[in-house]
Amino acid sequence: MGLGSQVPAGVVTGKNCVKVLEYAREHGFAIPAFNVTSSSTVVAALEAARDTKSPVILQVSQGGAAFFAGKGVKNGNQEASIAGAVAAAHYVRAIAPTYGVPVIMHSDHCAKKLLPWFDGMLEADEAYFKKEGEPLFSSHMLDLSEESKEENIEICAKYFERMAKVDLWLEMEIGITGGEEDGVDNTSVDNNSLYTQPEDIWDIYKALSAISPMFSIAAGFGNVHGVYKPGNVKLRPELLEKHQAYTKEQLKSENDKPVFLVFHGGSGSTKDEITRAVKAGVVKMNIDTDTQWAYMEGFRDYFLGKQDYLKTQVGNPDGEDKPNKKYYDPRVWVRKGEETMTTRVKEAFKDLLTEGNL
């Protein structure tokens, strides 16, 4: 019995969100999480999920959410990021059922300085829950990895108590992801900070499991954001196996993978490293850099190939009086970007063994 018979199409929350992630863990695959910045990137990801019969995670970053709202909106108090994230969630809720796949609607990295953004989204969740009996989003991420472990856990637990009341999943991070993404620059951090220890995972597990089982941990095992050739990033997926074994031992559990793990900064990872991470209990892998490039490729190739038809509204190699509207119509060239992004998203579903699970 596939996952599609167990959960509805569209945005899944609460128990259905848990079912999706448990199914992934039990069946040995991870679900790719794609950063979306517009309705166009949303449908590119959803199209690939539909065609490959895969569940999918769509997520907005703080900067991506602001872009969704419009770059002309002021964001001094995170108002654009809040409005954009809420708008994106409503849009995904409206369109996702059309594609017939379960979707986890998620918000990406939220550092301590960005907590007002998190607060705004959580308020929208609570309002939606009061009206509909479920939160607007499926899950949110708190990234307090720059803080001490103690403060990280304390703040996460505080928010998680509030989130649990409205059936929200929490993703948290321990151990810094290197590189640079979305304005967060960790290129100069000490390499030791990129590797989380099993004892850290257990401390987090103890604190959060006392509140709710609906949480996942993005543990650092050498992950780096950005663009790198395969093999140039020194990942240590064996650490994830040690995390699971240590937590299993502490719990006296029969479950070999008691922790829901998340893989950040996958660019530059080899296929073997990704496979080993999934086998260690990774249920979610973030993909952004590669899909940004793929989306751009469609635009670039179209504009280069049709440049003589895009210089004036009238007049092209076919004749001085020939109109060019059919070439510069955004529905034509934006679609080209969607097509190339969809192709890359399908590749991610294949690599993470997500395809065919509905």
- Out of 51, 108, 272, 301, the active site residue is 108
**CB-based burial label for 84 (10 Å; 0-12, 13-18, 19+):** buried
Positive or negative: CA dihedral 172, 176, 177, 183: positive
SS3 content of the chain, % helix, strand, coil (to 5): 50, 15, 30
125 labelled catalytic:
no
Pairing of strands 282-287, 261-263: parallel
Q: Are 107 and 121 in contact (CB under 8 A)?
A: yes
Q: What residues form DSSP beta bridges with 272?
A: none
Helix (H, G, I), strand (E, B) or coil at 265: coil
Q: How many residues does the chain have?
A: 358
Q: Are 262 and 171 in contact (CB under 8 A)?
A: yes
Rounded Cα distance, 129 and 1, in Å: 30
**CB-based burial label for 218 (10 Å; 0-12, 13-18, 19+):** buried
Rounded Cα distance, 170 and 175, in Å: 17
Q: Are 20 and 140 in contact (CB under 8 A)?
A: no
Catalytic residues: 108
